[in-house]
Amino acid sequence: MTTLRSLIAAALIALVSTASQAAPARIKDLVEVQGMRGNELFGYGLVVGLAGTGDTEQTAFTAQAIAGMLGRFGSRLDRKDIRVRNVAAVMVTARLPTLSRPGTTLDVTVSSLGNARSLEGGVLLVTPLLGPDGAVYAVAQGNLQVGGYDVEAAGTRERKGQPNTGRIPAGATIERAVTVDLTAGPLVLELRRPDATTAQRITQGINAAFGSEVAKALDPAAIEVKAPEMKDAVALISKIEGIEVESDVRARVVVSERTGTVVAGERVRIRPALVAHGGLTVTIQQSPVVSQPQPFSQGSTVSTAQASIQTAESNGKPMALPATTSVDELVKALGSLGASPRDLIAILQALRAAGALEAEIEVI
């Protein structure tokens, strides 16, 4: 039983006993200032210098891009005459931070667009990065760092990681400033996780810190702040960000069927329920079978595979789960069923469907 409970505890990573009183969090970690957000950038470019692992001749847009690039340097070529394997067409993406200034740099991600085997050792040529409005906000160029490889020799191929995607640290330079006028109107704080209780607590915390009614919750997702210090927006935001409040969230269980991981919050509760759990194991094995022809029959040797299937079913013992009042009790109750981490996912989903689990289940 101790081993089973250890297994359950390993799967339920976040199901840890905590104090009944939640730890306070800074407002800085709970909200975003309206208007202060990042922007996605993207661009189309070429990676050169690959060791024969680039796009093949069937990738027409790569040859067309090469012909267009060489044309700007005075070399006129028909794209049908371009046969190279050391160039790959790529998409370059980056995130432009809030209040960016020209001259600062960004990390960029480079992903193969064609059928290149690997971008290892490649160099990204100058690539303009566009925003949603079509304007150029940054320019990227540099040596790629690839976390995988793909090598082939004498008919043997070995691949590790994802060699078709790489990164260039500080590979883009910002060319256009993105600014926000924070003094133009009231300061609006947007909750990262909208919640009425958390919004009310933030409002009360700001009003208590300023000693007056300067904050008002517009809805569970936004709080409006009107303070005399609006002319110095940076000092105002800094003062608000340091205020600590207790956030409140919905009870939620996050499960990943791919990895057998279950993550739950401290407010997860279950009602009394009866659970019967059983498992079915199917084993399929293939063994080679060689058939020899009869002497002087002019037949040939035939090799086939014979499959054998074995099934084993274990019937779980029905057990009554008591109503729990803490996450620790929930872990012990589910551990008493002797279920594996993947089985727990099915049990939690069944409890939720039966109305016995007081939490939302999110599958990732």
Which position has the higher pLDDT, 150 or 69? 69
Instruction: Indicate the DSSP class of residue 296.
Output: T
pLDDT score for 11: 44
Nearest-10 crossing angle of helices 2-11, 327-335? 130
Q: Over the stretch 264-273, which tens digit does the pLDDT of each residue have?
A: 777 777 777 7
pLDDT score for 197: 92
Angle at the Cα of 170 from the Cα atoms of 165 and 175, rounded to 5 degrees: 110
Q: Please, is 331 exposed, middle or buried when counting C-beta atoms within 10 Å of its C-beta (0-12, 13-18, 19+)?
A: buried
Read out DSSP for 313-347? EEPPPPEEEPPPSSHHHHHHHHHTTT--HHHHHHH
Q: Over the stretch 33-85, which tens digit does the pLDDT of each residue have?
A: 888 888 899 999 999 999 888 888 888 888 888 888 888 887 777 767 777 88
Nearest-10 crossing angle of helices 341-353, 2-11? 70
Average the pLDDT over 244-259 and give the result. 81
- For the chain, the average pLDDT equals 79
Angle at the Cα of 139 from the Cα atoms of 136 and 141, rounded to 5 degrees: 155
Nearest alpha carbon to residue 339 among 9, 13, 14, 8? 8
Residue 52 CA from chain centroid, whole number: 32
Within 10 angstroms of residue 185's Cβ, the number of other Cβ atoms is 12
Q: Please, is 174 exposed, middle or buried when counting C-beta atoms within 10 Å of its C-beta (0-12, 13-18, 19+)?
A: buried
Nearest alpha carbon to residue 226 among 182, 263, 289? 182
pLDDT score for 350: 80
Highest-pLDDT range among 62-76, 143-157, 195-209, 265-279: 195-209
Q: Would you say residue 137 has pLDDT above 70?
A: yes
Query: What global pTM score does this model have?
Result: 0.62
Give me the percent of the chain exceeding a pLDDT of 90.
Answer: 27
Q: Would you say residue 288 has pLDDT above 60?
A: yes
Phi and psi based region of residue 273 (left: phi greater than 0; alpha: psi -120 to 50; beta: remaining) = beta
Would you give the end-to-end CA distance of the chain in angstroms? 29
pLDDT score for 151: 66
Q: Would you say residue 353 has pLDDT above 90?
A: no
pLDDT band at 229 (very low <50, low <70, confident <90, very high): low
Rounded to an integer, what distance in angstroms lies between the CA atom of residue 186 and that of residue 178? 20
Angle at the Cα of 14 from the Cα atoms of 9 and 20, rounded to 5 degrees: 105
Pairing mode, strands 165-174 and 187-191? unpaired
DSSP bridge partners of 308? 285
Nearest alpha carbon to residue 331 among 268, 258, 274? 268
Longest dimension (CA), the chain: 106
Counted residue by residue, the chain has a size of: 364
Rounded to an integer, what distance in angstroms lies between the CA atom of residue 323 and that of residue 310? 39
pLDDT band at 202 (very low <50, low <70, confident <90, very high): very high
Which position has the higher pLDDT, 325 or 234? 234
pLDDT band at 325 (very low <50, low <70, confident <90, very high): low
H or E element at residue 206: helix 196-210
pLDDT band at 227 (very low <50, low <70, confident <90, very high): confident
Rounded to an integer, what distance in angstroms lies between the CA atom of residue 300 and that of residue 3? 55
Nearest alpha carbon to residue 266 among 9, 10, 17? 17
pLDDT score for 336: 65
Range with the poorest average pLDDT among 138-152, 170-184, 204-218, 292-306: 292-306
Highest-pLDDT range among 149-158, 321-330, 338-347: 338-347
CB 262 within 8 A of CB 253: yes
pLDDT score for 105: 94
Average the pLDDT over 113-127 and give the result. 91
Average the pLDDT over 291-320 and give the result. 65
pLDDT score for 277: 64
SS3 content of the chain, % helix, strand, coil (to 5): 20, 40, 40
For residue 349, give the 3-state DSSP assignment. Answer: helix
Average the pLDDT over 349-355 and give the result. 80
pLDDT score for 278: 64
Please count the CA atoms within 13 angstroms of the CA of 344 that sit on its side-chain side: 32
pLDDT score for 333: 65
Q: Over the stretch 296-309, which tens digit does the pLDDT of each residue have?
A: 677 777 776 665 55
